[in-house]
Structure 1
Amino acid sequence: MKLLTRGRRRAAAEAGADVPPPAEAPTIRLRGLAKTYPGTVQVHALHPTDLEIERGEFVAVVGPSGSGKSTLLNLIGMLDRPTAGSYELAGVDVSTMKETERTTVRGRKIGFVFQSFHLLPHRTATENVALAQLYVTTDRKARPARAVEALRTVGLGHRLDALPPTMSGGERQRVAIARALVNRPDLILCDEPTGNLDSKTSAYVMGLLEELHATGLTVVVITHDPAVADRAKRVVTIRDGRILSDRRPNR
């Protein structure tokens, strides 16, 4: 296979093409990434940060409210732009892409799971998952089948036509995980995925994320819950916009 230069890789990614990763490229590579909000008094939400997350890792990012977790999540998820530094996603530099290019790459490369599910209440589980494919080039006729496949992956093959208001919190979160999976991303990015769930359902959802990680997916979970962080293979602690520790707990 002929290797692509960085410039050609980026051009192919921006066009929505399937680009083979460069050898050993991590899923996430941050170099001096920072975010400052302007104002009478500038707020340094994230100080220059270096971080690499390899393909197939399961990482928890922990810290108190206001620590910079959400800022880091928004930058990694390409929902916000850094004020300094660079960010490579699966070997592609996404730091300076135009917004339309970022939307394409984000839709193909990242699956999001949010605390509040963000499901459309008057759409079925299958429709909610299928809608995530609007941002990629999946053939329209193939979208329902891929949505059904994703829902079966998370154990909801019996709830394909259910509306979110008729589902439990755990079922809704599983629909959200199926939606994150449907485009077959490189990265699953979870923002407090168990925040609205009881302890038993939380454990089930974390077990599901562990199963997905075991298939080779890169999973990053933003959380303040020690029980959730304990399920990860690596724990990054952030406080006052700086990474304080990066450890791999002994199992």
Structure 2
Amino acid sequence: MTAVVTMGAVGLTYPGPPSVRALLPTDFVVERGEYVTIMGPSGSGKSTFLNILGLLDRPTEGTFALDGIDVSSLRERQRAALRANRIGFVFQAFHLMPYRTATENVALAQLYSGVPLAKRMANARAALDRVGMSHRADALPKTLSGGERQRVAIARALAHGPSLLLCDEPTGNLDTTTSGSILELLDELHAAEMTLVVITHDPQVAARGQRKVTIRDGMLDE
């Protein structure tokens, strides 16, 4: 079975002057169905690594394949299409449209994928049900708690059936109890064979992963 993520000596240097080596050459593989956490302090290179993983930045060296597709030579339009179809993003800030219902927010993620409206709405309702939010499908974000908003954001990331769920500090804006419920949801998604990469500075969040990777000064270490 093809790994979801395969990186060979991937590195990134930002041009100067002076140039900055943000990520040292890194080998990194995520098998289908794995739950990997990446932990490091501020300035460690987490954001750089996230941007490469999410096809937002191009590495300046090495090779990177997503679902067996070599992304190194793809044009920006092709990279954007691959990102839209195969990666689901969950952020610390929920990024929900304030005047759209939960269902509409989730459906918006598929707006440019060519999926007909009826199918987008059906996918959105199914994703909300998957994260335990079907009872709040018609609610506006301002009427939802922080935990509920993050569940809607996770549903939005799941709606198009991605190969990889990429989470950046998914509990950073939540209290301890609510954080626990979101981490339990991620555990459930992993149990259902979703491939997860969670980037965090929190040791308790990092400990939930099947594999824990640390990053410091642009260098990954398992």
TM-score w.r.t. length of structure 1: 0.87
Q: Which residue of 2 aligns with 1:158?
A: 135
For residue 170 of structure 1, what is the amino acid of its counterpart? G
Q: Which residue of 1 aligns with 2:58?
A: 81
Structure 1 unmatched ranges of 5 or more: 1-23, 247-251
- Alpha-carbon distance between aligned partners in 2 of 1:200 and 1:135, rounded to the nearest angstrom: 36
Secondary structure of the structure 2 residue equivalent to 1:122: coil
Q: Which of residues 3, 7, 16 in structure 2 aligns to 1:39?
A: 16
- Alpha-carbon distance between aligned partners in 2 of 1:96 and 1:48, rounded to the nearest angstrom: 18
RMSD (CA atoms): 0.8
Relative contact order, higher structure (CA 8 A, sep 6+): 2
Q: Which residue of 2 aligns with 1:206?
A: 183
Note the C-alpha offset of 1:233: 0.7
Q: Which of residues 134, 144, 160 in structure 2 aligns to 1:183?
A: 160
Secondary structure of the structure 1 residue equivalent to 2:179: helix
Q: Which residue of 2 aligns with 1:71?
A: 48
| Residue 60 (1) aligns with residue 37 (2) | yes
Structure 2 unmatched ranges of 5 or more: none
CA displacement 1:13-50 (0-9 Å, x = unmatched): xxxxxxxxxxx211100011111111121111101111
The answer to whether the Cα contact below 8 Å between 1:104 and 1:135 also exists between their aligned partners in 2 is no
Secondary structure of the structure 2 residue equivalent to 1:158: helix
| Residue 121 (1) aligns with residue 98 (2) | yes
For residue 212 of structure 2, what is the amino acid of its counterpart? V
Q: Which residue of 1 aligns with 2:71?
A: 94
Aligned residues: 222
The answer to whether the Cα contact below 8 Å between 1:103 and 1:135 also exists between their aligned partners in 2 is no
For residue 25 of structure 1, what is the amino acid of its counterpart? T
CA displacement 1:180-200 (0-9 Å, x = unmatched): 000000000000000000011
Note the C-alpha offset of 1:140: 2.3
TM-score w.r.t. length of structure 2: 0.98
The answer to whether the Cα contact below 8 Å between 1:60 and 1:232 also exists between their aligned partners in 2 is yes
- Alpha-carbon distance between aligned partners in 1 of 2:47 and 2:204, rounded to the nearest angstrom: 19
Secondary structure of the structure 2 residue equivalent to 1:194: coil
- Alpha-carbon distance between aligned partners in 1 of 2:72 and 2:175, rounded to the nearest angstrom: 38
Segment of structure 1 superposing worse, 169-178 or 40-49: 40-49
